[in-house]
Amino acid sequence: MKLSVWARKEGIGYRAAWRMWKAGQLKGHQLPTGTITVEEERPSILPDSVAIYASVSSSENRSNLDSQAKPQRQGVRMHSLWTHR
């Protein structure tokens, strides 16, 4: 994306963005025409792993733990996340 568009999106002025470009703080390249294009970094909003918590009121009901956690594990797999047991 153009440097001016990136600056507007980030809420900073073009001159500040240009200074950041000159200081090497932004990834991108300059076209032969002089236009500066900045690579837009898209951070991942999903975590790499998650923890699933299930509890029972007594040790007699311990066999219910797996049945309680099963729907959460299926939802996690749907989003391609890792679980640790």
Predicted confidence at residue 31, as pLDDT, reads 94
**Strand (E) or helix (H) holding 14:** helix 14-22
Number of domain units in the chain:
2
pLDDT at 82 > cutoff 80: no
For residue 43, being part of any structural domain is answered with no
φ, ψ of residue 53 in degrees (nearest 5): -115, 130
- Give the type of residue at 56: V
Q: Residue 3 CB: number of other CB atoms within 10 A?
A: 19
User: What's the pTM?
Assistant: 0.48
Question: Quick check: helix, strand or coil at residue 68?
Answer: helix
Which of the four pLDDT bands, split at 50, 70 and 90, describes residue 42?
Answer: low
Residue 55 CA to residue 70 CA, distance in Å, equals 13
Which pLDDT band, with edges at 50, 70 and 90, does 20 fall under? very high
Confidence (pLDDT) at 3: 93
Which structural domain range is residue 55 located in?
49-83
Spatial distance between the Cα atoms of 64 and 62, rounded to a whole number of angstroms:
5
Claim to verify: residue 10 and residue 31 sit in the same structural domain: yes
Mean pLDDT computed over every residue of the chain: 79
Q: Is residue 21 a part of any domain in this protein? A: yes
